[in-house]
Structure 1
Amino acid sequence: MAETVGSPPGANWRDLGIRTLTSAVLIPAVLVDVWVGDAWFHLLVALLAVMMAHEWTNIVHERSSSQFALHAAAALCGAFLPVTHGSQTALAVISVIWVLSLALAMAQHRRLSLWVMSGVAYIGLPAMAFVILRGENQAGMLTIMWLFAVVWAADICAYFVGRVIGGPKLAPRISPKKTWAGLWGAVAGGALAGSAVAYFAGLADLVVLGLLGAALAVVEQLGDLFESALKRHYGVKDSGRLIPGHGGVLDRVDGLVAASLALAAFIIISGYIDRGNELFGR
């Protein structure tokens, strides 16, 4: 973690302590919620997605309460409708909300930029993806745990490999600290975590899950860049201040959001979802 210009001595260490304490409290709570599943998991997804909606509309829509209502509605639809009315209904309702959001933006004389057009999908679809991936069985629980491990390992390895090796920048105009070395570190971390979790969980397809972990690591880094581009476009440092030492919810889940969508798409398109998600079954 780099020192900020003008920061008092030891400020970074205090910030690191706050980040560590926050993580020590939140991560176990989230993992327990994933393990329990059912309504508790849906409530967690809904809560995080509504928080994302709040931060997104604060940044992109200048704190518009009507846009927040639409984005929050997409969050709730993604978290609950796949269970109560099916995934197709959830997707249809989120699509209607997306159209309403665009119509409202035009009525408010807003230019239909990428950020204005993508908010509802960016919030509603990942919520839906998490609910589909978790399902109601042990395979779903392992899927989410595996995804967390891959994303966290990729993020950590990208940071440390990038700091140690340095080298050419990955996207200097968007995120000046990201390097190509960090990206390859993320790929290695994702592959190792994907294979290791699969091995210790007793899953059969170690090679497939290792390769999938490497691919999702790339997607995770792209998700991080997407959120960095959003903040750079609107001139904000953090998406919010909700999580002590970590910024906002969007700051913490950017890579996870992208990876969840990619994993859900892979499982659905490959047909694993129709076979009881056998990729993560024992």
Structure 2
Amino acid sequence: MLKTRILSALVLAPPVLAAAFFGSPWFDALAALAGALMAWEWIRLCRGGFGLTGWTMAALMALTGALATRFPLDVLLGLALATPMIRLAMAGEDRLRGGMEEEGPWWITAGVPYLGLPLVALVWIRGEGGWETLFWLLAVVWATDIGAYACGRTLGGPLLAPRISPKKTWSGLLGGMGSAALAGWGLALAFGYAPPLWVILFAPGLAVIAQAGDLFESSMKRRFNVKDSSNLIPGHGGLLDRVDGLLAAAPPVACVVALQGGGIGLWQ
């Protein structure tokens, strides 16, 4: 299992990093594809089927990823308008089919901001903060996952949220925070910058947010009795299983980029 996870990561990481480095239109295309796939997984996770509303939501997320670089505010407005429309469409489909679980339509609707806002944030970070900021974010989130997994498996200890995830531990959380701090500091140095203290502290804060995003997706899978969001990525499950922490961490970084006028206080 671990070997499969590592192999999948080695195969997927280069094209993701290449798209992030070269930016538009490559990263826009990647974001569009990821948005459509995540919409499909989210609807599958919520047991909503994949009727006309599902295709509409997948198209909406694809457009979000494709257009966020040039029209971020328009895309955000579109997401705000689309959210109640998706809910009304789901109500209509539910009435016609009569087979959806009671919670399904509400959670499917919640997927519009849950997926759309991080997509806009990621594409906007690449456009405004540059590839260095996006690489920094990816490194911090990936280091969080690796550190949490390694420390949790090695040290064990009290469970972090036993009712949601029976494997996540406090030692894993602390290990993820430490790994994130090292990754954020180390990558800044590799880029030729001496990171200020607040940036070093920001990285473990993002680790906590990323872990919270992971727990949220775990709670959703438990709520709907689903093991994985899909089987798209061997050893990892679905795309949502792989990027749940990134979805949570991207909006805070986008806010910092906006406040800093580009970058995260290291490179302007």
Fold shared, TM-score > 0.5 on shorter chain: yes
Instruction: Tell me whether 1:67 sits opposite 2:59 in the alignment.
Output: no
For residues 190-269 of structure 1, the aligned pairs below 5 Å read 190-268=180-258
Q: What is the root-mean-square deviation of aligned Cα atoms in Å? A: 1.8
Q: Which residue of 2 aligns with 1:181?
A: 171
Cα distance in 1 between the residues matched to 2:3 and 2:170: 29
Q: Which residue of 1 aligns with 2:84?
A: 99
Q: Letter of the aligned partner of 1:91 in structure 2?
A: L
Give CA deviations for 1:85-134 in whole Å, capped at 9, x if unaligned. x2221111011111111112233256456623411111111111111100
Q: Letter of the aligned partner of 1:124 in structure 2?
A: G
Instruction: Indicate if the aligned counterparts of 1:71 and 1:123 stay in contact, CA closer than 8 A.
Output: no
For residues 81-120 of structure 1, the aligned pairs below 5 Å read 81-84=67-70, 86-107=71-92, 108-109=94-95, 111=102, 115-120=107-112
Cα distance in 1 between the residues matched to 2:140 and 2:56: 32
Structure scoring higher RCO (CA < 8 A, sep ≥ 6) equals: 2
Counterpart among 103, 115, 125 of residue 123 in structure 1: 115
Q: What SS class does the counterpart of residue 75 from structure 1 fall into?
A: helix
Instruction: Indicate if the aligned counterparts of 1:174 and 1:232 stay in contact, CA closer than 8 A.
Output: yes
Cα distance in 2 between the residues matched to 1:279 and 1:80: 27
Instruction: Indicate if the aligned counterparts of 1:150 and 1:190 stay in contact, CA closer than 8 A.
Output: yes
Q: Letter of the aligned partner of 2:140 in structure 1?
A: V
Q: Letter of the aligned partner of 1:250 in structure 2?
A: L
Cα distance in 2 between the residues matched to 1:96 and 1:195: 40
* Off by >3 Å, runs of 4+ in structure 1: 109-114
CA shift at 1:264, angstroms?
1.2
* Structure 2 stretches lacking a partner, 5+ long: none
* Structure 1 stretches lacking a partner, 5+ long: 1-14
Identity %: 41
Counterpart among 63, 79, 91 of residue 77 in structure 1: 63
Give CA deviations for 1:118-162 in whole Å, capped at 9, x if unaligned. 1111111111111110006xx410011101110111111111111
Q: Letter of the aligned partner of 1:153 in structure 2?
A: A
Instruction: Indicate if the aligned counterparts of 1:239 and 1:248 stay in contact, CA closer than 8 A.
Output: yes
Instruction: Indicate if the aligned counterparts of 2:31 and 2:66 stay in contact, CA closer than 8 A.
Output: no
